[in-house]
Structures are given as structure tokens and as C-alpha cells.
A and B are shown apart, each in its own frame.
Chain A
């Protein structure tokens, strides 16, 4: 085997360089360079390698940042839209104003059709309804044909009600203050509670038989004033165990809570009796003079604008 030696002089260097292995190496190098210039194989190899490892690399850079912002922005909008839809759905399905009031938080609003609001209006206690807006005004607005929708907006100090024409111009607006709202909200919560769990009844909860006995002793007009819709009680399935009288009047009406038991379940059905009839009954139940009346202004809290 020939021993590898270092070239001794320049001639030797040149001879070795121009020998077959050197020339072959040069030719290969030259071919690679020419091929690169013609076929761009280096770029292709790197490009293919990068494409193959693409999924391992970070989603960084302007376009990905923009994508993230888009996703985050769309999800923020999605939340807004779905919240609003939920309120709208709740408002559409609400059977009374109490349900809507109870579901909204401050600053939120719900849009109802004019017809739906009229239905809810009819279910309000007469005094409260009339103090919000006169039924005759409502009738006039409905008859004019311009009132198309109603917007309810919960504020920290009450509920704003806007009666709107199709272009959202306000035909009438009025505010219902916080106190009546609290009572309305309570009515919304009544379904799955006992009388003790509901504020305003403490100390005024009576066994049903005692309540009905006192009721039977009243005159017919007093009974009608106390329970204007007795058919609602007749529809109840289960047994009325206890009855509570609220300590607050709202627009001339007082809540009467009927605790109904079905098996081990309890729920409260709220009806509104006229305040004078309720105080009369309460006097009977507590053995006081029937003349005593509440000092509270029943209309307090309603401020038409």
C-alpha cells in the first residue's frame, strides 16, 4: 500500500491537483454548481425538508397573530351574540314580566313584540299596570299601528320600558323603580321555594285551614278583593299547606303566597290581593281591629316619564 505523503514542492502540488481524483472531484463540484444554477436543487431540498417539518414549527409571525386575534375577537362576539340571543329567547318565552325582570342583570335589555308586552301587561297587578302606563294610552298606541316593539332595559335603579315604532323611535318611555321590581322578581323566584325562603312573609305565615276559615268569614266583596282569581287556586294540583301575607304593598296590591305541597316537594304560588282586603283578613287572623291599614304608599316606586 502506498504511503500517503505530503507534496514536496509546487510542481508536486500541481501534479496531484491535476491528477484523476482531483479532476474528478472538480468535475463533480462543477456539475453540482451547474446543476444548482439550472435545477435549484439546494433550494428544493431545503424547501422539501422544511415543508415536511412544517407542522413541528411554532405558529408564530404576523399571519398567525392575526389568526389568533381573529379567533379571540370572534369568540368575544359569539359570547355577546349568544348572551343577547339567550335574553331574547327568555323574553320571548316569558309568561310574565316578573320572569324577565328576574333574569336580566343591570345594563342588560330584552326586546319584545308589542303584542307580547300587551300580554305581559295584562298579567300585572292592576295598580302597577295602570301606574306604568294607562291601559287607554296603550290601547291608543296599539290602535295607531306605529307601536311595533318594546325594549326593556334593567338599570341599577329600576327598569326602563321603551315602546318603539318600527324605526326604533321611542313612542313612550317610563321607568319602574327598584322596589316594585324586587317584588316582581320575587314572584319569578316563587315557584321552587317555601314561604320561609321568600323575603317579606316572615311572621305572617298561617296554616291553610286557619286562612280559609278567616276567608270564609269575610263578605263576598272582601273575598273577591282578597283572591280575585280563585280559579287559579282550584287549578293547583297538591295540597295548600300554608298561606303567607306579604308585608309590602305594590300599587294597591299585596302578595299572598300559597305554599303547595306535592309529596315531599313544596312550591309557592303567588297571587295578588287588594291591600284593603288583605289588611282586613290579617286583622281577623291576628285578632286586631279591622280598621288598621298600612301607612306605606302603595304607588311608591312608579314614575312614568
Chain B
């Protein structure tokens, strides 16, 4: 026997042995794997039976589904979508029994060659098995199990049942699971009505829902659509001409503000709150019905106002378009609208675009309110020191001594000093030197107490500069605290959930709208009357120029270096706070070096929102408490205007402040009651 024959013989027997071992190994492996193989639920439709948690707006409109699926039978899905999915994901779907062997061999070969391109060979059935039972960890063991489950699914269920389960559970991104929900989210129509262009766009998304999100990356999504259409043409589902035509046809994506889902910053807040109360599993799996305070129409106006206001600000600041992808490179904004007489949050915007950044600046972003904090100072000064809107202080350079530190010497925004003036004018013109004198007299603790009574909950530093807003607060707090002034001193905690029910409609909890009087009604009204002057003739006058003429009061706020611009204001029924600024605390200045103040950056957004929110509403005046008298005084002396004299300023005085008229001393302060020092 020749050597090579011996070798051949050895190789033959060795091959036989290996083959036997491999067969035995495969057999053992099969049964070992089998033990850990998951049970497949029967019927398969059970996978889409999880009850969704539904969130409703105040109007009763459903605004969000969590955790559930809007499952549809296959005959309620556009055949074009079915064709597109099959052509793209698994064009031999109707022929195989769970595994596409040719594709498997090809993928194995390509992977073996190590060309760097990892070929996938998963059929639709395998993908369904993976989505139902397995993690996305890529191991051979998981792959084998996935394959075995796919074989079982194929053996037990019809192709239509498999396809129906598949299209009802795939993720399309933007919170859309299943084709019906995706069709509604992206195109605002049922899945049955999808045309070729829409169907092909949707069919391309499951490969990478984030990467191909058409709201954010439209061009990428179109490229992916092109791939889907070419696959459809290649397998003969459509002609090449149809593919080309669909590629060219216009896609009408549903407007984002209303779909994604509407008011997502608000919904984030609701979800977080629910999860804290009930736990994540209950929120996502128990099928709750949550009735919120959300007003979709107000929210739509909030979105419009914030986005158009920020676009204008971009133009003023000349923010380059190239920085579009970086949320920190654009100025951001937040808006919160609170119902004054209940504390119900009706609309909430936490940033320019939820799709771009989910960071909720309406709640999480405590920024310095600047002069927006002064109403609390003035309230404390009136209540504690007995001052009135007609008390006269001198606008002058001040230096407040601080033990162990250099004196605090705040300057006016304009850099100029106007001499004596009544406190009403000092607030409407946001005079810092007089605010400093007030806090020196009543101490910072009194300001903190007043702010707390209004509903401010953030930590506040016990320093004199607190009166000029040097402790961070959120727009939600500001809107809620100013609502306490709007109601004449009745404080309501802000809330966003009215009622929670289980899936059968049984009430689990409902909100009791309790309130408490925390401010004196007459003093609160004096502050409101002074804040009206901010809009009518003060730093917030742009609001009147922009066409909002209903009775309203408010206060601008601008911090040093123009890092933050605020306007918080209210009508007797609605309190709204708007903040504008960069996330990184950069200065907001136009190319000429002029800074963006509260009046320039935030007040226009407030005005636009309020103009829409109150359109058609009757004129409602703030309720005047019984002890209030209006007196016209000279703005520099606080003395009543003499008959025939020039027109003065109307001030609201408590009855105890009216009779005691004191002559203007020319000193640091004087005026009507409470002015003497």
C-alpha cells in the first residue's frame, strides 16, 4: 500500500469519525439548547394584548399611549407596506419554513471571508422570535435559539399570522410600535391608506429607527426609502418606473408639534410623576387611564410662540445655521402656563424642540430670575415695613455693607440714576438701587418668606442680592408663584394630573384642588397694580406694542451679562412664565453688543402666546379688595396731584395709607403713608 493511499485511508476514517462526533455533538447540543428554549405563547396574538396606559388631555382627547399596541389585522394594512417589508427584510418569506438557507450560506460565506461587512440572514420569523424572546446580544447560542423558535413558530402558525404579529410589534422610532401607530405618528392616517412612497419610507425605518427618523434626518430616511423601493423593484413587487415615481413623490409628514407626541415635555413630567407614585411596571403594563390638565390648543400655541420667538432671536443673535445639530449652540426657551385659580398646568414647553433635546428647562433648569424676583421683595417691604406704592425712595448709588465682605453695590441696568421716585415707578422701571435699599431695610429673610408663601420651593440664598434674583428658580415655580399674586394671595400648588383610573374605569386617585391664603389680599393687589405698570409703561411695554391689551401684570428679568432673560406675567386667570437663554450660560448679545433683556427676548414670546391664548376672551379685571383706594400722586414726591395740576400716577393704597399725607422731605424717602423713615 502506497503512502498516499494510507494517508487517504486515514483521512477517510478520520473524516467519518469527525462526522459521527459532529452528529452526536449536534444531537446533544440540540437537546441541551432545547431545555432553555422559551415557550411560545398561544395564540401568537397574545403578544399584543398588553393594555396600554392612556393619557388624556383636559379636553378628553387621548394624547398618548404607553406600553400597549394598536394592533390591526393584516387586511387593515396597506398591501404595499407588506410588499415593502417582505422585499426588504425577507423576500423568500412565503417560501421558507423559518430559515432562508441560501441567504444563510451566503451570509456565512461573507462573514467567513471577513470582508468587514457583517451579513444578516434573519428571516421575518427569526426577527419576530428575536423581538419576542431574546436580547439584542449577538452570540451564536442566541442565534441558534432564535432559529429554533422560528422553526416552531413556522410549524405552528400560518404565514399570515406570523406577518400580522410581526408588523404589529416592530419599532419604528419616536415611540411608535406597530405599523398602525407608526402610520398615525408619521403620516396621520391609518396603515391601510399608506401609498407606495409612505409605505416604502416606513418599511425602511425598523433597520435603525433613530438613524432613519424622518423628522430629524429626512435625507437619510429618503436614502433608505430608495433602498426599499429598489428592493421592491428587484423582487418584482413593483416596476422600476413605479419605484422612481415613488422616490420622487412628495412625503407629507405629519407636523411634529402635534404628533411626537403632543407636548412631550409635559408628558415627560406626567410620566415621571406617575412612575414615582405607582412604579414603572404599573405605569407601563397596568393600562391606567390618566386625565391631565393639559390643553392641546394652548400647547400648540406655546410651541408656535416659543419656536417663532427663538427663530427671531437666532436672527438677532446671528446664530449660524451650521450649529443646528447642537442644542447648546442655540438659545433655548421654556414656557409654562398655569391656571391661576387652581394651579393646573395647562401648557409646558421645556425647550426649543423635544426631538432635539429632552432636557426639560421648565422644571429642571433652575436659572437666575434677575429682577423677576422683585415682586416678592416689594410684597415683603409693603407688609413688613408698611411701605406703599406711593412711598418715595431716591434712585442713587448705593453700597450695602455686608459683614466680612466688600459692600454690595448694585448698579441700575441703564447705568443712570433718576433721583426720587415712588416705589410703583421703581418696580415698573426695575430700579436696582431702590431694590437694594428695600432689602437692606427688611432683610433678605423677609424676601425669602414672601417667596415661599407664593410657592417658590427652590433653595434661596440668604444674601441681600437675593432681592435681585441671584438664586435659581424654575419657570414652573415662577408661573405658579405669580399665580398667587393673580388670585389676590390664594396659593395653589401646581399640578398636572387630575385623576387616575384603572383600565376598567375605577378611580385610583383624584386631585382635590385645595388652596390656602398665604398673602394679604390688599398688599397682593398693590403689587399686582404695580406690575400692571410694568406692561403699560415699564420694561415690559413691548407686550402692549405687540398687541396684547387685556388687563395683565408681570415682571421682566435679566441677569448679569444677559445670560438669562425672563418674563413672567398673568391675567386674572392665567399665569405664564417664559425663560430664554443658552444651556451653557453664554451671554446673549447681538453683533452690535446689545444684550437680550427680558423685555426683548422673553416678553415677545409671552405676548404672542397670550394674544392667542386669550383671543375672544372678555376683558376681566383683577378683583379690587374692599380696603383699596386709588389715588393719583406725583411720581417724584408721592404727594396727591393737586386739582388742575399735571397728570400723576395712579397708585393703589390701603385705606390706612390714604389719609396720612406727609410732605416730601427731599431726603431718602417720603410720600404717602408708610414712607416716613
Query: Which residues of A come within 8 Å of B, CB atoms?
Result: 6, 8-10, 13, 37, 40, 43-44, 46-48, 50-51, 53-55, 57-64, 66-67, 69-70, 72-74, 76-78, 80-81, 84-85, 151, 162, 164, 167-170, 173, 305
Determine the chain B residues whose CB is within 8 A of the CB of A37 once the complex forms: 101
Interface residues of B in 497-533 (CB under 8 A from A): 498, 502-504, 506-508, 510-516
Q: Is the CB of B510 within 8 A of A84?
A: no
Q: Is the CB of B286 within 8 A of A51?
A: no
Q: Which of A13, A69, A170 contacts B513 (CB 8 A)?
A: A170
Q: Is the CB of B515 within 8 A of A170?
A: yes
Q: Is the CB of B288 within 8 A of A77?
A: yes
B287 within 8 A of A: yes
21 A-B pairs within 8 Å (CB atoms) are namely A43-B96, A50-B149, A51-B152, A51-B156, A54-B40, A57-B34, A57-B38, A58-B36, A58-B38, A59-B39, A67-B41, A69-B281, A74-B51, A74-B285, A77-B278, A77-B502, A168-B512, A170-B512, A170-B515, A173-B514, A305-B516
Contact with A along B1-37 (1 / 0, CB 8 A): 1100100110000000000000000000000001111
B133 within 8 A of A: yes
Q: Which of B39, B153, B512 contacts A55 (CB 8 A)?
A: B39
B282 within 8 A of A: yes
Give the contact-size bracket for chain B: 35 or more
Distance in Å from the Cβ of B404 to the closest Cβ of chain A?
43
Q: How far is it, in angstroms, between the C-alpha of A84 and the C-alpha of B284 when the chains are bound?
A: 22
B151 within 8 A of A: yes
- Which 8 A-B pairs have CB atoms at the shortest separation, nearest pair first? A47-B155, A61-B133, A73-B286, A50-B152, A40-B97, A43-B97, A61-B38, A47-B151
B50 within 8 A of A: yes
Interface residues of B in 106-135 (CB under 8 A from A): 131-135
Q: Is the CB of B512 within 8 A of A63?
A: no
Determine the chain A residues whose CB is within 8 A of the CB of B652 once the complex forms: none
Q: How far is it, in angstroms, between the C-alpha of A76 and the C-alpha of B101 when the chains are bound?
A: 47
Q: How far is it, in angstroms, between the C-alpha of A62 and the C-alpha of B38 when the chains are bound?
A: 10
Given contacts A54-B156, A162-B514, 10 further A-B contacts (CB under 8 A): A6-B9, A10-B5, A50-B34, A54-B42, A58-B38, A59-B38, A67-B41, A72-B285, A77-B278, A80-B502
Q: How far is it, in angstroms, between the C-alpha of A167 and the C-alpha of B339 when the chains are bound?
A: 14
Q: Is the CB of A77 within 8 A of B96?
A: no
Which residue of chain A has the shortest Cβ distance to B516 in the bound complex? A305
Q: Is the CB of A74 within 8 A of B287?
A: yes
B494 within 8 A of A: no
Q: How far is it, in angstroms, between the C-alpha of A169 and the C-alpha of B341 when the chains are bound?
A: 9
Distance in Å from the Cβ of A21 to the closest Cβ of chain B?
16
Q: Which of B96, B149, B154, B511 contacts A168 (CB 8 A)?
A: B511
Q: How far is it, in angstroms, between the C-alpha of A55 and the C-alpha of B39 when the chains are bound?
A: 6
Q: Is the CB of B39 within 8 A of A81?
A: no
Q: Is the CB of A62 within 8 A of B133?
A: yes
Distance in Å from the Cβ of B141 to the closest Cβ of chain A?
14
Q: Is the CB of A77 within 8 A of B512?
A: no
Q: How far is it, in angstroms, between the C-alpha of A44 and the C-alpha of B99 when the chains are bound?
A: 11
B98 within 8 A of A: yes
Determine the chain A residues whose CB is within 8 A of the CB of B284 once the complex forms: 69, 73
Q: Is the CB of B151 within 8 A of A74?
A: no
Query: Which residues of B come within 8 Å of A, CB atoms?
Result: 1-2, 5, 8-9, 34-42, 47, 50-51, 96-99, 101, 131-135, 148-149, 151-156, 278-279, 281-282, 284-288, 341-342, 498, 502-504, 506-508, 510-516
Q: Is the CB of B156 within 8 A of A78?
A: no
A-B contact count, CB below 8 Å? 149
Q: Is the CB of B155 within 8 A of A50?
A: yes
Distance in Å from the Cβ of B408 to the closest Cβ of chain A?
40
Q: Is the CB of A48 within 8 A of B155?
A: yes
Given the interface pairs A73-B281, A169-B342, the reply to whether A50 lies near B37 with Cβ below 8 Å is yes
Distance in Å from the Cβ of B1 to the closest Cβ of chain A?
7
Which residue of chain B has the shortest Cβ distance to A8 in the bound complex? B1
Which residue of chain B has the shortest Cβ distance to A162 in the bound complex? B512
Determine the chain B residues whose CB is within 8 A of the CB of A73 once the complex forms: 279, 281-282, 284-286
Q: Is the CB of A81 within 8 A of B514?
A: no
Q: Is the CB of B514 within 8 A of A76?
A: no
Q: Which of A63, A76, A173 contacts B282 (CB 8 A)?
A: A76
Determine the chain A residues whose CB is within 8 A of the CB of B40 once the complex forms: 51, 54
Q: Is the CB of A51 within 8 A of B155?
A: yes
Determine the chain B residues whose CB is within 8 A of the CB of A85 once the complex forms: 506
Which residue of chain B has the shortest Cβ distance to A48 in the bound complex? B155
Distance in Å from the Cβ of A126 to the closest Cβ of chain B?
27
Determine the chain B residues whose CB is within 8 A of the CB of A305 once the complex forms: 516
Which residue of chain B has the shortest Cβ distance to A169 in the bound complex? B513
Q: How far is it, in angstroms, between the C-alpha of A273 and the C-alpha of B459 when the chains are bound?
A: 53
Q: Is the CB of B513 within 8 A of A168?
A: yes
Determine the chain B residues whose CB is within 8 A of the CB of A74 once the complex forms: 51, 285-287, 503
Distance in Å from the Cβ of B46 to the closest Cβ of chain A?
8
Distance in Å from the Cβ of B472 to the closest Cβ of chain A?
32
Q: How far is it, in angstroms, between the C-alpha of A161 and the C-alpha of B342 when the chains are bound?
A: 18
Determine the chain B residues whose CB is within 8 A of the CB of A50 once the complex forms: 34, 37, 148-149, 151-152, 155
Q: Is the CB of A46 within 8 A of B514?
A: no
Distance in Å from the Cβ of A165 to the closest Cβ of chain B?
9
Q: Counting chain A CB atoms within 10 Å of each CB, which of B97, B99, B151, B502 scores highest? A: B151
Given the interface pairs A47-B151, A58-B39, the reply to whether A168 lies near B510 with Cβ below 8 Å is yes
Q: Which of B5, B134, B287 contacts A61 (CB 8 A)?
A: B134
Q: Is the CB of B39 within 8 A of A54?
A: yes
Q: Is the CB of B282 within 8 A of A77?
A: yes
Q: How far is it, in angstroms, between the C-alpha of A162 and the C-alpha of B514 when the chains are bound?
A: 8
Q: How far is it, in angstroms, between the C-alpha of A67 and the C-alpha of B284 when the chains are bound?
A: 12
Q: How far is it, in angstroms, between the C-alpha of A269 and the C-alpha of B470 when the chains are bound?
A: 64
Q: Is the CB of A47 within 8 A of B285?
A: no
Determine the chain B residues whose CB is within 8 A of the CB of A63 once the complex forms: 38, 41, 47, 132-133
